Amino acid sequence: MLAQNTVPAVLPRHLAIIMDGNGRWAQARGLARSDGHRAGAENVRTIVTECRKLAIPYLTLYAFSTENWKRPQTEISVLFTLLSDFLRKELPLLQAQKIRLQTIGQIEELPFAQRTALSHALHVTKDNTAMTLNLALNYGGRSELVRAVRAIVHEGIEEEAITEECLAQHLYTAGQPDPDCVIRTSGEQRLSNYLLFQSAYSELIFSQAYWPDFDAAQLHMALEEYAGRKRRFGKTQEQVVSCVTD
Ligand code: IPE
Ligand code: IPE
Ligand code: MG
């Protein structure tokens, strides 16, 4: 077991997590899927607090995808109720830890109660600077790209001015660094429409733990794995090494 007191040598500036496995966590215990989602929501506090302690500046959590609307209506309702509960219960903690809450995704399509709770939490935390917590809600990478292209067309931007930077500036994450690391829990090894443009050079880490079991120790293990990765961005290993020693 890695000591949680030791901070990995290199930490991501932006960590993105696909919080997966609530249903299987519950199933393994003979519980209902809703119990898994409740345990998963509880775990958000643990991981947010640990990332804040580590001084990771940006944390993005995948909470509800554009594809998750395909789930039974009862399960969707449970997820949205948990979101409202989370916002109400955790807002003081976000404030105390000076965490700014942001959302990525089509928030306007969420139910009224959740939109209201979100806009309140966004407003209350807007001046916090210690960490940015992006909640990905009704988020899909493909729909984000379509939205960006539409905005670019709508603004009448010249063809030559449509660059990678221009596209990045029209994404929900405009102004934020790309995720250095994407962690997916529960053993699945896919992106499921998460941060498709932004994760072009992210290190991908897959944990076997179901999200409710992904605790601070598991996070540290994943971050140690990240710290051991050699990022090249298209260069040769020799170029990367000489760049570090220059
Ligand atoms: C992640 O857990 C939560 C959401 C996708 C909202 P799942 O509900 O996907 O859990 P599994 O994958 O069925 O175990
Ligand atoms: C991805 O998990 C979305 C979230 C964690 C919110 P899913 O469980 O929905 O992904 P798939 O369907 O297994 O790819
Ligand atoms: Mg899943």
| CATH number, residue 167 | 3.40.1180.10
> Hey, whose CA ends up nearest to atom 11 of ligand 2?
192
Tally of domains in the chain = 1
Q: Could you tell me if residue 9 is inside a domain?
A: no
- Give the pLDDT band (50/70/90) at residue 6: confident
Three-class SS state of 83: helix
Residue 237, burial from CB neighbour count under 10 angstroms (0-12, 13-18, 19+): exposed
72 C-alpha to ligand 2 centroid (Å): 14
- Give the domain range for residue 23: 14-245
Whether residue 186 is predicted with pLDDT greater than 50 in this model: the reply is yes
**Any domain includes 4:** no
Q: What are phi and psi of 181, to 5 degrees?
A: -145, 135
Mean pLDDT of 187-199: 98
Q: How far apart are CA 135 and CA 60, in angstroms?
A: 6
Is residue 233 domain-resident? Answer: yes
Residue identifier of the C-alpha nearest atom 1 of ligand 1:
20
6 within domain boundaries: no
Question: Is the CB of residue 56 less than 8 Å from the CB of residue 12?
Answer: yes
Residue 20 annotated among the catalytic residues of the structure: yes
- Ligand 2 centroid to Cα of residue 109, in Å, is 19
For 56, counting Cβ atoms within 10 Å of its Cβ (0-12 exposed, 13-18 middle, 19+ buried), the class is buried
- Res 52 pLDDT > 50: yes
- Closest ligand to Cα 41: 1
* DSSP label of 179: P
Burial class (CB in 10 A: 0-12, 13-18, 19+), 21: buried
Report pLDDT digits (tens) over 114-148.
Answer: 999 999 999 999 999 999 999 999 999 999 999 99
Average pLDDT in the 222-245 region? 91
Residue 7 lies in a domain: no
Which residues 6+ apart lie within 8 Å of 65 measured at CB? 136, 138, 139, 140, 192, 193, 194
140 occurs within a structural domain:
yes
Q: What is the pTM of this model?
A: 0.96
Query: By the 8 A CB rule, do 19 and 61 touch?
Result: yes
Does 214 reside within a domain?
yes
pLDDT band at 1 (very low <50, low <70, confident <90, very high): very low
Measured from the alpha carbon of residue 64, the closest ligand is 2
pLDDT of residue 242: 86
Cα of 73 from ligand 3 centre, angstroms: 16
